[in-house]
Amino acid sequence: MAKINYNLEGKVALVTGGSRGIGLELARHLLKENAKVAVCGRKTENLKRAEEDLAAGENFLAVEAHIAKEKDVDRLFETVMEKFSKIDILINNVGMNLPSPPIGDTDPSMWQKIIDTNLNGTYLCSRKASLIMRDQKGGKIISISSTAGRKASPGMGIYGIAKAGIEMLTKVLAAELAQFNIQVNAVAPGMVRTDFSKPFWSNEEIHEMIIKNIPAGKIADIIDVVHPVLFLASEGADYITGQTIVVDGGSTIT
């Protein structure tokens, strides 16, 4: 396969939840495209492993931060600005889910935890990035949504609500920030082969049930999500804003 060049030299990207999984691979490929990259995560040990794995020296920054906490988000953006002086690309990658009962049976604390991490954290980071990018007269904000935000699925109700909120947040921000040359988009994967979804795809019976509903006949690999994000981060997407690219092998069209 020919190399795809997204030409991100001179750009500074911040990836939330960038110490493992999709976020770590996004950071790896952003570095390969010559961007300077900052990531955040909640666990020091994961950030240290990412730093050792990527071995990017002065082009990489790892910051411990909980994006659902405003003070942590403020400190995160201040630290990145102190290191790199600008932020051209924000990738809102943090996501978490707890298997949830029907809404009527859900404890409010579970609701709050899932909404805070997925939706409120995306809002807090996007807000800070938008202020910086407005001054810079340009930038890209890309959020990782999910097909769970487009269809009601057992055990994923609150998660789906949060992801649906991210897609509307994407549209609102895109409309508000277009005048500042800031493009705001999202990528909505179906199931991706990560540790996050391993309980599903590692079970042969469940795996077969899942792929029966995917016209492409397979679960996405991480790289299938990475490439659309890199495209949206590149100048090739300068006239695309307020959109969500669905990456699901066709599962939502049948």
Rounded Cα gap, residues 176 and 174, in angstroms: 6
Both tokens of residue 254?
Answer: 């049948």
- The number of angstroms, rounded, from the C-alpha of 92 to the middle of its chain's C-alpha atoms is 4
Rounded Cα gap, residues 118 and 166, in angstroms: 8
C-alpha torsion sign, points 196, 251, 148, 178 = positive
Measure the CA angle with vertex 100, ends 95 and 104; round to 5°. 130
Rounded Cα gap, residues 104 and 110, in angstroms: 12
Q: What values do phi and psi take at 6, rounded to 5?
A: -100, -5
Rounded Cα gap, residues 90 and 13, in angstroms: 6
Annotation says 159 is catalytic? yes
C-alpha torsion sign, points 230, 225, 26, 143 = positive
Q: Which of 6, 123, 159, 239 is catalytic?
A: 159
Q: Which amino acids are annotated catalytic?
A: 159
